[in-house]
Amino acid sequence: MILLAPVLMANSKPGSILNSISQGIYTFFSTTCHQEESRSFHIFGEMFAVCSRCFILYAGFLAGVIVYPFFKKLDNTTLPHVWMLLSAAGLMLADVLLDISGIHKNTFLTRSITGFLLGVVLPFYLIPGFTMVYLELKNFKNYKKKIK
C-alpha cells in the first residue's frame, strides 16, 4: 500500500476512483506518519505513503520476519533480553530528540539506520508473543472440551 498510493496517484486523474483509493491510502498512513515530503521517497513524482524512516522501519520489519526462522523456531515463546528492544528504540528516540532540540540535525542515513534496526528487532518480540497467545487460546479451547 505504501508504494501503491503514489503509483495510483501518478497514473490517475483527479476525482477518479483510483485517485480516491490513493488518497484513502495516504489518509490511512497519515495517522501514524507525518508524511513530510522532504523526508520521503518518491516514485513517478509522487511521495510514498510514509516518510523514509517509516518505510525503512517497515522494510526492516519485513527483513526481521524473513530472517527470524534462521535464528529461532517458529514455535519459540522465549523473548530476547529487553535491552535489544530498548537499545533499538532508544537510538531512534535519541535521533528524533537530538533533531527536535537542534543539537544535531538527523539525516537520511541516521533515520534509515535507526528505523531499520528497530524494524529488524520487533519480530523477535512479536512472533514469540503471538505464538504465546495462540498456544494459550489453543490450551483454553482444549480445557473447555475436557470440562464438557
Residue pLDDT, tens place only, 46-95: 999 999 999 999 999 999 999 999 999 988 899 999 999 999 999 999 99
CB 40 within 8 A of CB 4: no
Question: What does each C-alpha distance from 98 to 89, 95, 101, 127 come to in angstroms?
Answer: 14, 5, 5, 31
User: What is the average per-residue pLDDT within 3-31?
Assistant: 94
Distance CA 15, CA 12 (A): 9
Q: Could you tell me the pLDDT band of residue 146, with boundaries at 50, 70 and 90?
A: low
> Is residue 125's pLDDT more than 90?
yes
What pTM, to 2 d.p., does this model score?
0.82
Indicate the average pLDDT of the chain: 92
* Long-range CB contacts for residues 7-12, cutoff 8 Å, separation at least 24: 7/43, 7/44, 7/46, 9/44, 9/46, 10/43, 10/44, 10/45, 10/46, 11/44
Q: How many CB atoms lie within 10 A of CB 125?
A: 15
> Is residue 145's pLDDT more than 70?
no
Q: Could you tell me the pLDDT band of residue 148, with boundaries at 50, 70 and 90?
A: low
